Amino acid sequence: MIDPSIRLRRAIHANDVLLVRRILKSHPHLLHNPDHSLSGNANSNLHLAASLGHISICKLLVELGHEADMPALNDDHQTALMLAAAAGHTEVVHFLSENDPKSILRQDLRGRDAIMEASLHGHDTVVQILLTYAPGGAAAALAQADLDGNTALHFASSNGNLLVLRTLLAAGADAGRKNAWSWTAEAYSATVQAEVYLKTLVGEVERRKQTGMPAGVAMSGGGVRLVGKEVGD
């Protein structure tokens, strides 16, 4: 007989929401079920489902009270939202952000939050969703920095994620912000193309400030907007 905790994780991997429900009905103590194997990082059921993008299982776990007291954290103090954001699972990110907006600003052991993870991996739609639901507004969320002083803009620039750069600047990211090593996001540009693009965007943001035009209104190179509350799949 396979241990129920292992059967449960296998059911999550298989995206079998009915089997997950049946196992949890028989073994309610396994609702969180942290994976303490060598490679498990103490990820809970929700961490696993979120990292795989299995929205139906995420909804079931939250419905059963997985996040009732506070967001579950793995050994790196990451939330399920952080893992979903890093993987670019838009649907899961939207659901978890709407369910608990405060979790958007949570930071892990390195000081990274979900917006930084999405910016690092170039998931522009995910970034827009997180900024839409961030408590205190987008600009305040973008002021957060990790333990090395890197902001979401630093992460987007260092990986050449042009769409994310545009979104972050339109949302109020500070292009002049320096990290602990006195480097700006521009100095961290992954490519010459990214550096030139970032300089162009920064210049346009400054022109808009001088003319009194909102920074988030369709910048050159494509429209920039924060997604509305009606975002779905």
Name the residue ranges covered by the structural domains of the chain.
Answer: 119-233
Question: What local confidence, expressed as pLDDT, does residue 136 receive?
Answer: 95
Give the type of residue at 98.
E
Q: What is the DSSP letter of 228?
A: P
Q: Torsion angle of alpha carbons 19, 24, 26, 30, nearest 10°?
A: 130
Question: What local confidence, expressed as pLDDT, does residue 69 receive?
Answer: 87
pLDDT under 50: residue ranges of the chain: 216-233
pTM: 0.88
CB 117 within 8 A of CB 150: no
Q: How many CB atoms lie within 10 A of CB 217?
A: 11
* Cβ contacts of 110 within 8 Å, gap of 6 or more: 76, 146, 147
3-state helix, strand, coil in the chain (%, to 5): 55, 0, 45
Q: How many CB atoms lie within 10 A of CB 98?
A: 13
Q: How many CB atoms lie within 10 A of CB 36?
A: 11
Top-tier CATH class for 119-233: mainly alpha
Tokens for 135, please give them: 């408590």
Question: What local confidence, expressed as pLDDT, does residue 209 receive?
Answer: 67
Question: What local confidence, expressed as pLDDT, does residue 17 receive?
Answer: 98
